[in-house]
């Protein structure tokens, strides 16, 4: 009885320590402000990073609590059996054989759990991220040690086993890039077009609605991206917050279209 009481006390203390560490890790201060070159932190990316950090900490805490319970209580039971002069060698042998059998029968499940643990520890993706998992592209809605749940652009929900994900393209970590290609006639005035696109990029950067909450740094005109016998293609690029590149690209297209119309410059298909 004393061994069991001590085991329960140790298990409870261990769980409290794990919970305290998990809470501290989940509520740690965000450093996303560095993405703005030392500027103030951005609320949108702070929320995303905090949600990912909290989920990863809670999942790892749950795993650690289960492992601690199994190790502590299993050791206590074996110690009690030994004190009662009950031979435990046959029991350990049976458990070992059973473990091997379960391991062979549940290889895929073990593979999923191991992949899920490494994915969480390495912070490959989290809830709210837009990822390309190979099998599907969509927004992550839930992450567990066994499966990842995605919702694609059409609203379909995909359940993907972590062990089957061999590569992940994450569009929501750090920053994203929005770019548009502007095709104009081959005989257009190149310096004039480039100057016009530069003014559009500068106006977008100076717009408080985008500079304060969407765009990370000033948009740039890369110049001539392609040349054909009928057109010259310019590229305008802007670094944005994660998953906001589509919004910025749409705004750039509208402003470029209005500026070209005002200057009498036609787009070429």
- Give pTM, 2 decimals: 0.61
Contacts of 15 (CB under 8 A, 6+ apart): 65, 68, 69
Q: Where are the domains of the chain?
A: 2-105, 121-174, 176-263
pLDDT at 50 over 90: no
Tell me if domain 121-174 and domain 176-263 are identical in fold: no
pLDDT tens-digit map of 131-167: 998 888 998 888 887 889 999 989 999 999 998 998 8
Q: Which CATH number fits domain 176-263: 3.30.1360.70, 3.40.50.720, 3.10.20.30, 3.30.70.100?
A: 3.30.70.100
Q: CATH number for the 121-174 domain, one of 2.30.30.60, 3.40.50.10680, 3.40.50.11610, 2.120.10.30?
A: 2.30.30.60
Percent of the chain with pLDDT over 70: 87
Mapping DSSP to helix (H, G, I), strand (E, B) and coil, where does residue 35 land? Answer: helix
Asked whether the predicted pLDDT for residue 33 surpasses 60, the reply is no
Return the structure tokens found at 150.
Answer: 């995605």
Nearest to 166 by CA among 111, 230, 232: 111
Q: Give every strand in the sheet of 169-170, ordered side by side.
A: 157-161, 147-151, 137-143, 130-132, 169-170
Cβ atoms of residues 95 and 145 within 8 Å: no
Kindly report, residue by residue over 21-32, the tens digit of the pLDDT: 877 876 764 444
């Amino acid at each position: 009885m004393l061994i069991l009481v001590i085991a329960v006390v140790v298990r409870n203390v261990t769980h409290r320590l794990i919970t305290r560490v998990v809470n501290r890790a989940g509520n740690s201060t965000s450093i996303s402000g560095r993405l703005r070159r030392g500027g103030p932190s951005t609320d949108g990316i702070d929320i995303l990073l905090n949600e990912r950090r909290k989920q990863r900490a809670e999942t790892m805490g749950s795993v650690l609590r289960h492992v601690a319970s199994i190790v502590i209580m299993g050791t206590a039971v074996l110690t009690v059996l030994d004190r009662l002069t009950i031979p435990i060698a046959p029991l350990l042998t049976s458990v070992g054989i059973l473990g091997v059998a379960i391991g062979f029968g549940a290889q895929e499940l073990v593979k999923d759990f191991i992949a899920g643990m490494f994915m969480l520890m390495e912070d490959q993706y989290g809830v709210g991220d837009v990822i390309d998992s190979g099998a599907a592209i969509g927004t992550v809605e839930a992450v567990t040690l066994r499966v990842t749940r995605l919702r694609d652009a059409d609203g379909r929900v995909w359940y993907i086993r972590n062990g089957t994900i061999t590569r992940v393209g994450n569009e929501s970590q750090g920053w994203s890039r929005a770019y548009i290609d502007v095709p104009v006639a081959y005989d257009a005035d190149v310096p004039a077009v480039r100057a016009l696109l530069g003014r559009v990029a500068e106006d977008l950067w100076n717009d408080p609605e985008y500079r304060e909450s969407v765009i990370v740094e000033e948009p740039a005109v890369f110049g001539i991206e392609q040349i054909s016998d009928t057109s010259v293609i310019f590229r305008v690029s802007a670094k944005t917050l994660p998953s906001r590149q589509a919004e910025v690209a749409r705004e750039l297209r509208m402003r470029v279209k209005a500026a070209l119309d005002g200057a009498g410059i036609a787009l070429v298909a």
